[in-house]
Chains A and B, each alone.
Chain A
């Protein structure tokens, strides 16, 4: 794979420099030069009016991916006896992908005493559940979970493997991908099948969400992707669905590990569950002080929601990290997200821009938050929020 500039054809017009989303192509000494960081996205090739740029991809030459790989798999997220919601979201998406490819949808379920979950997964769309049920798998362990998964993949050869982009998935999937020497794309917001090549088109935000990139893994299998919770829609359960359960033999060798789980500690914190909230009222630096969050709390309670915060507010110690929404916090997709005094830095937007409805309140009409807001109020949050509270109370009193 490579990108070449034909010096004779290049006129140094600079169109490629403007078009490059990563800023790696520059005009130097009257010719275009490609620097570090080129991803072969082809934006420059497209705009060059002089055909001076050639991108060479050996997909044209190399054999297509081994087609004995068939099937879409989901790695179930199991913890403390429960299956996380993201598993059902992946099932929902996975079903669509499997149908588009005309192949089976399966779930890999590792855990302890999980037979009931296997049934529920089938009802929610899985054709097969590979069930590795052993007390030794009660707690997530990078080594054992990866070893069993790699074994299963090598045996049954799925073409696509999906997992949640969670504290578990984001450590499990990379270890598996590395062993299989295959491609893994993190935090996908879109997954589609390309009808011609049957490849999985994996779309994810890049550079904090300013740009969407579509990525492919054309000649290695399986194609792996992780997806953040609350991005895809959960599948609807169908009580009449049938499927098969394949019991995986969990041998002592597979359970060998240099990691020993000593204790599992669940923290309820202050009961913050941003992930499940339908309404989030979120505050940023514009709230100016921790005490002003009580106003947002009141508003959230009136709307049946919870409070969230930008990183700026958390870093200022106005509100605990458990409430942080954004790239280094939680991703949320509630029905209603009200951003109060939040400027809308890209790192925050990444965490909430898939909310159904976004309302933004900010003094600064140029604040980037307004680019994603469905409803914009340019004003002083210290006037608007109390008015919201008053108006809602009045309506409730009616």
Chain B
């Protein structure tokens, strides 16, 4: 069985801060990490490898430095890694990204299962996984919280819903996006890190993928940003003064007066 895990290198958004004066993002010193949700997808792939001897290939689309993330992920036990990178890919929205990744999976060939994290923590759209599936004409299900059974031609999974989950059987080849409830990622191994150092990461561009300009990067994107602005500052911003009792009593007075709470 051939499994592909799609992963993305992202800035560690919890460290991304905004400069209140200029309304711009400060990104210096912000680390680049593997998108946390992709680690769960990777672990799911590795467990299938442990169980069935499947081959796990990592694939990522990004600038050349994204190879670091691939190399880090290889240390956990994946077999190969491919980077889709080219100037022409820059500025891709989720449509162009999913088309490009789909082309990468198509070129790899013989893939039974594609695993992705549910969303990337910088874009938060959760759109690329389903898009890749659709472009490849494969069934997909999203927000998988458990893979119950792995068979040669199908999987049985639990797919999270807002009020619980559905159990379903999905025929392979297919794509799943996973949530963090699915597993606890393993730690990398020293042998894995040493092996990862020696693995050659292939890089594919538009030529290798057989994509033309119109489908790539900014040109291939259907959406773009027209405006950036700071969020509206909120309401009263009133700091309550006094000792604790005074603060609390004042707060309750305001909330009751504005009919926010009713405790009379």
On A, residues with C-beta under 8 Å from B are 1-2, 18-23, 36-43, 57, 79-80, 84, 139-143, 146, 166-168, 170-171, 173-175, 177-179, 181-187, 201-202, 205-217, 219-220, 257-267, 279, 302-304, 321, 327-328, 335-336, 345-347, 353, 356-359, 370-379, 383-384, 387-388, 391-392, 395-396, 398
Contacts and interface: CB of A to CB of B under 8 A. Distances in A.
A391 B239 CA distance: 19
A186 B127 contact: yes
A335 B260 contact: yes
B22 interface: yes
Nearest to A23: B27
A353 B234 CA distance: 9
Contact of B22 (A19, A166, A357): A19
B252 A211 contact: no
Contact of A336 (B25, B95, B261): B261
B142 A214 contact: no
Nearest to B166: A264
Contact of B234 (A143, A184, A358): A358
A183 B134 contact: no
A207 B126 contact: no
Nearest to B251: A375
Interface of B: 13-14, 16-18, 22-28, 62-63, 90-91, 93-95, 98, 121-122, 124-135, 139-143, 156, 158, 160-171, 174, 177, 180-181, 218-219, 221-231, 233-240, 244-245, 247-249, 251-252, 254-255, 258, 260-261, 263-264
B222 A42 contact: no
B231 A178 contact: no
Contacts of A146: 134
B168 A40 contact: no
A40 B91 contact: yes
Contacts of B94: 174, 184
Nearest to B140: A142
Q: Name the residue in B25, B128, B129 with the highest tally of chain A Cβ atoms < 10 Å from its Cβ.
A: B25
A212 B229 contact: yes
A259 B231 contact: no
B65 to A, nearest CB: 9
Nearest to A264: B166
Given A21-B228, A211-B230, A258-B170, A2 B142 contact: no
Nearest to B252: A391
A214 B251 contact: no
21 contacts: A1-B219, A1-B221, A1-B224, A37-B90, A42-B226, A171-B142, A174-B125, A174-B131, A174-B134, A178-B132, A213-B228, A264-B167, A267-B163, A336-B261, A347-B13, A353-B234, A358-B234, A374-B234, A375-B240, A384-B248, A387-B248
B250 to A, nearest CB: 9
A97 B227 CA distance: 20
